[in-house]
């Protein structure tokens, strides 16, 4: 594996670029190493709060507002990147739905393909951007039109699945490498060999060999980013992202992470936007502090890649969409 490291000044020049970083969000809301770590995350979360401006602070698909820490809830975790966008607007290229049931202690994860074809109502953002588009564009259009990037992304997922999204967490690029390095790296078992560009080091290749290996920050970023190699059909980006999330969770709940709490929380506070209030984060932490990453159940949206005109989309199958809706509704204790 390529062990080359970029200079610190090169990294700082790229601070405004953003990329997916889902495990940071799960670290913030699920883990509980000790009281000190909880308080550090609590303080960081105060800087991250960003509401969705919706009636009663609840999804339109809910009859009543949920009680965090008591009711089953859903979270939309979004990783946003701008490094490859000429416009400078962000794209939510990673979207993972997490359900949390404090009674059964069950957690599920569902990764939604970024190219999923969705309909964004023109009544919300105007004729220019409304209509059929890719799922990752909903965040962009919400930002461009001032409708609200997080708000439109959440509502688009709700429209697709007909399942309420109670809370969201958006994470960006800054802090990804530093936090992975701060916790001493993340160990994963690589299923198939592949390579990806290192955006910190003149796009030099980082090679991933089959078997167990510990990833540093730059390697971890490349591991979860890769989506254009042939191996993606048998070792998909979605599978690698979920694999990394679970491995990272296992790392951050270890005792040694306690000594990194102050450093990690300072990064979290500035790199996350969420409509979870500090007391709600604390309530979730209290409910799930003993959960193991191996207990997280994974769901999948079934479908196929198709071209419509000159645009490549992921088209969910009717059966796949119906099955996922039913699975999520069941975990959220919602009547179909």
The listed range with the strongest mean pLDDT (42-46, 165-169, 235-239, 272-276) is: 165-169
Give dist(CA 319, CA 128) in Å, integer.
Answer: 31
Quick count: other Cβ atoms within 10 Å of Cβ 190? 18
CA atoms of 291 and 32, how far apart (whole Å): 9
CA 270 to CA 84: how far, in whole Å? 22
pLDDT, one tens digit per residue, over 274-310 is 898 878 877 877 777 666 666 788 899 999 999 999 9
Domain extent listing, the chain: 15-173+261-331, 181-252
Pairing verdict, β 106-112 and 297-300: parallel
**Measured between alpha carbons, how far is 167 from 59 in angstroms, rounded to an integer?**
9
What pLDDT is stored for residue 7 in this prediction?
A: 47
C-alpha span between 142 and 125 (Å, rounded): 7
pTM score, two decimals? 0.77
Residue 19 above 80 pLDDT? Answer: no
Higher pLDDT, 230 or 261: 230
pLDDT digits 0-9 by tens, 177-193: 777 887 789 999 999 99
Between these two residues, 152 and 21, which has the higher pLDDT value? 152
pLDDT tens-digit series, residues 54-72: 988 899 999 999 999 999 9
181-252 in CATH: which number?
A: 3.40.630.190
| From the candidate CATH numbers 3.30.420.590, 3.30.530.80, 3.20.20.20, 3.30.1200.10, the one assigned to the domain spanning 15-173+261-331 | 3.30.420.590
Q: How far apart are CA 171 and CA 36, in angstroms?
A: 23
């Amino acid at each position: 594996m390529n062990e080359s490291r970029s200079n610190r000044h090169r990294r700082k020049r790229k601070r405004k670029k953003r990329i997916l970083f889902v495990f940071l969000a799960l670290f913030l809301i699920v883990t509980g190493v000790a009281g000190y770590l909880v308080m550090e995350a609590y303080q960081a979360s105060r800087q991250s709060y960003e509401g969705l401006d919706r009636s009663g602070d609840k999804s339109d698909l809910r009859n009543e507002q949920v009680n965090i820490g008591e009711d089953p809830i859903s979270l939309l975790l979004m990783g946003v990147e701008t490094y490859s966008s000429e416009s400078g607007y962000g794209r939510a290229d990673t979207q993972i739905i997490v359900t949390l049931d404090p009674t059964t202690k069950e957690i599920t994860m569902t990764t939604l393909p970024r190219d999923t074809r969705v309909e964004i109502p023109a009544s919300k953002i105007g004729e220019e951007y409304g209509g059929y588009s890719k799922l990752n564009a909903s965040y962009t259009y919400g930002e461009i039109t001032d409708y609200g990037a997080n708000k439109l992304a959440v509502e688009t997922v709700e429209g697709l699945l007909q399942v309420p999204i109670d809370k969201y967490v958006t994470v960006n690029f800054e802090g990804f490498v530093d936090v992975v390095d701060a916790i001493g790296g993340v160990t994963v078992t690589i299923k198939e060999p592949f390579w990806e560009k290192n955006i910190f080091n003149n796009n030099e290749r980082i090679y991933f060999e089959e078997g167990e290996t510990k990833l540093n920050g730059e390697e971890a970023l490349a591991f979860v980013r890769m989506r254009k190699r042939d191996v993606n059909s048998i070792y998909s980006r979605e599978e690698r992202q979920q694999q990394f999330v679970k491995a990272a969770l296992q790392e951050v709940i270890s005792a040694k992470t306690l000594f990194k709490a102050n450093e990690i929380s300072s990064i979290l506070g500035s790199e996350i936007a969420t409509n979870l209030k500090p007391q709600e984060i604390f309530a979730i932490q209290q409910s799930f502090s003993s959960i193991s990453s191996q207990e997280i159940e994974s769901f999948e949206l079934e479908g196929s890649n198709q071209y419509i005109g000159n645009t490549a989309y992921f088209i969910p199958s009717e059966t796949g969409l119906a099955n996922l809706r039913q699975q999520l509704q069941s975990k959220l204790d919602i009547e179909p």
